[in-house]
Each structure stands twice: as C-alpha cells, then as structure tokens.
C-alpha cells in the first residue's frame, strides 16, 4: 500500500513561555480549533496551558496562521493539518500496524534525505482515533553540505481522511523530554466534538427541532440552539463563532435535518425539514431574527424532501401549505420571496444536479 499525503496550507503555532518548565504547567479552559478541510470542517477540542492566548495573522505561505502564546514567543509547537482521502479509520489502524513507526515518521516529516535516530516511540489512541508519539534526533544537511541537528517531538493523529501532527523542535534532548510531557498532557485532553455518529446526529436534530417548539411556547423569537450545540456537539465560543458553527451544521446535514412528527392539542405536524417546521408552527420571527441577518451564501436553503415523487424545497412547501389553508399567506410569501430573492432559494424543479445531491 503506497502512502501519500496531500499537504494543505493550514498551520497552527503554539508558543510556550518556558518550555523547560512545561511539565509543571496546568491546563486551562478548553477551546475548539476549526479547520476547513473540505468537504467538511474539522473541529478539535483541547486544553492549553493556563493564560495562553490565541492570535491570528496572515503569513506569506499560509492562508491562516493561528498563534497560541504566553509571555514569550521563543519556543513553538506546530500543528499541521494534512488531508489524506485514501484512508478510513480502519485503514489508518491497518497502516500503523503494518508499517514501522520510523518509516511513517520519515514520510510524514519529510526527512527522507536526513539522518534520523528514534529515541522513543509508542502507539496510542486519541478519542478513539489511532495515533503515534515519536521523539527523535534529526541531523539535517543543506545544499551547501552544512549539517545541523535538533530534537523533534511529534504526536500524529490519523482522523478519518485527515492527518494531524503536533510537533516541536528543541536544541537539547532534555528540552525534548519536557516537550513530550506538555504535548502529551495536551493530546490527552483532545476530543473531536463534531464526529457525529448516526445516533448522535439523530439526537441532535431532534433537540434542534424541539428547541423551535420550546421557543414558540415561551414566546421567544430565537430557539436556544446555542445551548444545544454546546451540550450535544461540544461547541464553545461567542455568538459570532456560534453562527459559523451552527450554519456549518445546517449546511453539512441540510437534507438530513428532518423534524419528527409533532402533535400539539388537535394539530399534528408531519415529519418535515427544520426550515418548514419553523414556519409551520408560526415561528416566522426566527427567520427575521437569525436567518435574514446572515449573508448570502452562509446557509444553503435548497434542502429538499421527496413528496409525492417530486422534490419539495421550502419554496414549494410554502405554496402547498397555503393551499391547505394553513398559516398567514402574506407573511409566508414574504419569507419565501426573501429566501428566493436574497438567498438563492429555488423550487424543487429548478434545482441543478449538484444542488440535488443528497448529503
């Protein structure tokens, strides 16, 4: 089996104030790192040492560089995100079991022409995903024949179609030991909150739909979706970050977010897409308060269901709902007009082949 990795441009740099004292550093609050590794975003939840901060800067060779730092920027821990679509989780486990760790490190670390001495190595699991820890002495030679050496400590996580490497370089071996301790404590804190098993996804969708009913009963314009994302998908962040997180959820599973049958008094709502359920229960204000405050393209409103053998989008549903004598026709058509005119919503018959592709 040949091993190939496609390198993406995302790099995160974590900077420690005094790496020689890193093993005594207490971990602080959790944070979530998000990277856009198409076709889906990757989320990593981890803890960093207390008082570290995050800064974002544009770099010449990277589309985004995130820097986590304290008082000093002398020592750095890098996080590389690489995409390798050839392997599943089982494939990654087989890869680790079938190859020498040194060989894997050589391929991943791009040290094929350099001398590498493995000091320590072990296999481990990070939130159910296979991973490797490697500490090695690297001797490099440049094009002038000049040689230099350093110690690299690396943790490599094989996550679905992506490979994530945490690593740091040190001049002395004693520092590499300290690097390993702080890195290992961080690695142990990692979870992937957006891995979404089928059961987890189904449960989350049910709660997102229940939030609409709850908001209706309580007379609130905005359902408590932020709380649901925090509880069920591990989201942590401010309101702006929540919008990006929740919009990604809606887009990623756009044709799967079907609300279950709902009965209130004598009225029964059949299983239907979240967008339809919001309007069906009379929560038009949610579109005004949340969806219409977003930019064009933030959310794909062309989710559809097959009804009577045809694709039914929210625009189709509005007319069908009005034909049944339900809802306020004028208000519903106002919402539909805005979705079509400002956000690119279409009728089912007008969807392109790409737009019709099920998630």
DSSP-derived secondary structure for 204-243: HHHHHHHHHHHHHHHT-SS--HHHHHHHHH---S-HHHHH
The pLDDT value recorded for residue 226 is 93
Alpha-carbon torsion (34, 197, 286, 315), positive or negative: positive
Q: Which long-range contacts (CB under 8 A, 24 or more apart) does 23-28 make?
A: 23/178, 23/181, 23/182, 25/49, 25/50, 25/182, 25/185, 26/50, 27/185, 27/186, 27/189, 28/52
The predicted pLDDT at position 238 comes to 87
Contact 47, 27 (CB under 8 A): yes
Q: If you count them, how many residues does the chain have? A: 359
Q: What's the pLDDT at 73?
A: 59
Low-confidence ranges of the chain (pLDDT < 50): 1-9, 16-24, 56-65, 85-86, 109
Closest CA to 9 of 77, 67, 62, 85: 62
Return the SS3 of 352.
Answer: coil
pLDDT at 21: 42
CB 221 within 8 A of CB 268: no
Q: What is the pLDDT of residue 58?
A: 36
Rounded to the nearest angstrom, the gap between the alpha carbon of residue 62 and the centroid of all alpha carbons in its chain is: 19
Instruction: Supply the pLDDT for residue 312.
Output: 92
Kindly state the helix (H) or strand (E) to which residue 69 belongs, with its residue range: strand 65-69
Q: Mean pLDDT in the chain?
A: 76
Give the pair of three-digit tokens for residue 258: 């079907």
**Cβ 3 vs Cβ 16: under 8 Å:** no
State the sign of the Cα–Cα–Cα–Cα dihedral 207, 212, 216, 221.
positive
User: Could you give the domains of the chain?
Assistant: 6-188 (3.40.1000), 198-350 (no CATH)
Give the model confidence (pLDDT) of 119-129 as tens digits.
888 888 888 88
pLDDT of residue 18: 40
């Amino acid at each position: 089996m040949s091993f190939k990795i496609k390198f993406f441009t995302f790099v995160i740099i974590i900077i420690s104030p005094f790496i020689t004292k890193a093993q005594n550093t207490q971990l602080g609050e959790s944070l979530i790192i998000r990277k856009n590794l198409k076709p889906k975003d990757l989320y990593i939840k981890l803890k960093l040492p207390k008082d570290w901060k995050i800064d974002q800067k544009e770099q010449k060779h990277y589309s985004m560089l995130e820097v986590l730092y304290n008082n000093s920027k002398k020592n750095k821990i890098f996080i590389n995100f690489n995409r390798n679509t050839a392997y599943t989780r089982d494939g990654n486990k087989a890869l680790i079991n079938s190859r020498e760790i040194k060989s894997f490190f050589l391929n991943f670390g791009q040290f094929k022409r350099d001398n590498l001495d493995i000091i320590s190595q072990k296999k481990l699991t990070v939130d159910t995903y296979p991973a490797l820890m490697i500490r090695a002495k690297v001797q490099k030679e440049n094009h002038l024949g000049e040689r230099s050496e350093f110690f690299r400590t690396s943790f490599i996580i094989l996550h679905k179609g992506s490979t994530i490497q945490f690593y740091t370089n040190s001049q002395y071996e004693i520092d590499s030991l300290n690097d390993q301790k702080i890195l290992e404590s961080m690695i142990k804190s990692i979870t992937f909150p957006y891995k979404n098993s089928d059961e987890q996804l189904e449960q989350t969708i049910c709660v997102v739909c229940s939030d609409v009913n709850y908001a209706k009963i309580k007379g609130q314009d905005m359902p408590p979706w932020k709380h649901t994302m925090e509880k069920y998908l591990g989201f942590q962040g401010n309101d702006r970050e929540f919008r990006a997180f929740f919009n990604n959820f809606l887009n990623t599973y756009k044709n799967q977010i079907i609300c279950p049958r709902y009965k209130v008094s004598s009225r029964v709502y059949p299983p239907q897409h979240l967008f339809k359920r919001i309007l069906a229960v009379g929560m038009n204000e949610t579109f005004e308060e949340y969806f219409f405050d977003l930019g064009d393209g933030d959310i794909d409103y062309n989710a559809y269901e097959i009804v009577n053998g045809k694709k039914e989008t929210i625009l189709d549903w509005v007319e069908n709902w009005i034909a049944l004598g339900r809802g306020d026709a004028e208000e519903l058509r106002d919402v539909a007009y805005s979705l079509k005119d400002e956000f690119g919503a279409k009728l089912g018959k007008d969807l392109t082949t790409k737009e019709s592709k099920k998630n």
